[in-house]
């Protein structure tokens, strides 16, 4: 399995050619769907257990950093992936920080768009998960017409520079686009309406974004094409199936951490001579 190769965004992304319903890692042995989901959950748990072990080394080493950026349309599963991979993972919250970026506050808008992002990048030994990110600033204002093509291009270049700086200073960056179909989004929004415990998640503004679906897809393609660098690669994850989506992201995360060549740090002193009285 080389998920990083398999799901890496192509040079020129066309989201209409990417099937959000694909489940390429699902075994095709005639089992019922329920069995496949269960196996995907179990396999994801196994991969995450390996991630947790590497995370301990990352934390102990207090040197490298890992940043996982999750993007996608509303209901694509940014929250769900974060929860599935990390809430039940044996990864201590001490080594993990998840940040959601909603609409910027007045104070945040008074700064450049990378200012609030920079404040949340991972420190030494940490894993940071971004639920939305600086990419929102080349998506929403672009679709709403608040910035033109020239400004969008300038911001995308600024993002490339910023991410290169992060990589050069010890941060491994991976970026995941959770790709759902318009039909799947309809189903999920309807589920939020049908479940009183999910009403708080339903924002009528989401319907306005849904109405501009194609424009958002084009904005994503442009943003991903412009920032799909080797030091901060984009992965396109088919996300109509939640369990399969989690499995792919778990593979990506594990392979990325295996590539970081982590090891236990040397002790702070010659411990052979230490005696506890």
Nearer to its own copies by C-beta: 89 or 217? 89
236 close to 13: Cβ distance less than 8 angstroms: yes
96 binds its own copies (CB under 8 A): yes
Contact, 224 vs 156, CB < 8 A? no
* Cα 210 off chain centre by: 21
Check residue 90 for interaction with its own copies (CB under 8 A): yes
Only segment of 9-17, 97-105, 142-150, 239-247 that touches its own copies (CB under 8 A): 97-105
Asked if 82 interacts with its own copies (CB under 8 A), we say yes
In the complex with its own copies, the residue whose CB is nearer, 11 or 264, is 264
Binds its own copies by CB under 8 A, chosen from 1, 49, 193, 208: 193
Contact indicator for 214, 15 with CB cutoff of 8 Å: no
The distance of closest approach from Cβ of residue 180 to its own copies in the complex, given in angstroms and rounded to an integer, is 14
Q: How many residues bind its own copies (CB under 8 A)?
A: 46
Please give the span between the terminal C-alpha atoms of the chain, in angstroms, as a whole number. Answer: 50
Sign of CA pseudo-dihedral 38, 39, 42, 47: negative
Which span sits near its own copies by CB under 8 A: 33-41, 172-180, 207-215, 242-250?
Answer: 207-215
> What length does the chain have?
277
CB closer to its own copies out of 117 and 224: 117
CA distance 157 to 254: 29
How far CA 128 is from CA of 9, 58, 98, 160, in Å, comes to: 22, 12, 6, 19
* Least Cβ distance, residue 41 to its own copies (angstroms): 14
Applying CB under 8 A, among 4, 8, 39, 79 the residue interacting with its own copies is 79
Based on the shown chain and the rule CB under 8 A, indicate whether residue 204 belongs to the binding site for its own copies. Answer: yes
Question: What is the DSSP code (8-state) at residue 67?
Answer: E
Q: Residue 119 pairs with which residues in a beta bridge?
A: none
Least separation in angstroms between CB 275 and its own copies: 9
Instruction: Give the one residue of 5, 16, 168, 200 binding its own copies; rule: CB under 8 A.
Output: 200
Report residue 177: phi and psi, to 5°. -100, 115
Helix (H, G, I), strand (E, B) or coil at 247: helix
**202 contacts its own copies (rule: CB under 8 A):** yes
- The contact set with its own copies (CB under 8 A) reads 56, 60-61, 79, 82-83, 86-94, 96-98, 100, 129, 131, 186, 189-190, 193, 196-197, 199-204, 207, 210-211, 264-269, 271, 274, 276-277
């Amino acid at each position: 399995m080389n998920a990083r190769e398999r799901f890496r965004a192509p040079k020129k992304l066309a989201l209409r050619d990417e099937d959000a319903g694909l489940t390429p890692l699902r075994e095709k042995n005639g089992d019922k769907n329920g069995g496949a989901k269960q196996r995907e959950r179990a396999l994801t748990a196994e991969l995450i257990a390996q991630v947790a072990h590497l995370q301990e080394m990352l934390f102990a080493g207090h040197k490298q950093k890992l940043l996982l950026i999750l993007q996608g349309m509303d209901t694509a599963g940014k929250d769900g992936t974060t929860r599935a991979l990390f809430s039940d993972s044996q990864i201590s919250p001490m080594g993990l920080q998840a940040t959601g970026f909603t609409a910027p506050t007045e104070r945040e808008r008074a700064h450049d768009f990378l200012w609030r992002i920079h404040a949340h990048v991972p420190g030494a030994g940490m894993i940071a998960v971004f639920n939305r990110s600086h990419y929102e600033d080349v998506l929403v204002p672009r679709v709403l017409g608040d910035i033109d093509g020239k400004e969008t291009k300038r911001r995308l270049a600024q993002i490339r520079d910023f991410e290169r700086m992060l990589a050069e200073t010890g941060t491994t960056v991976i970026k995941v686009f959770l790709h759902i179909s318009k039909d799947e989004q309809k189903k999920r929004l309807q589920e939020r309406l049908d479940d009183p415990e999910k009403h708080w998640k339903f924002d009528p503004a989401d319907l306005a974004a849904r109405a501009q679906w194609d424009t958002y897809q084009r904005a994503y393609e442009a943003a991903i094409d412009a920032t799909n660098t080797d030091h901060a690669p984009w992965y396109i994850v088919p996300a109509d199936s939640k369990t399969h989506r989690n499995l792919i992201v778990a593979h990506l995360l594990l392979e990325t951490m295996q590539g970081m060549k982590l090891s236990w740090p040397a002790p702070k002193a010659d411990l052979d001579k230490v005696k506890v009285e």
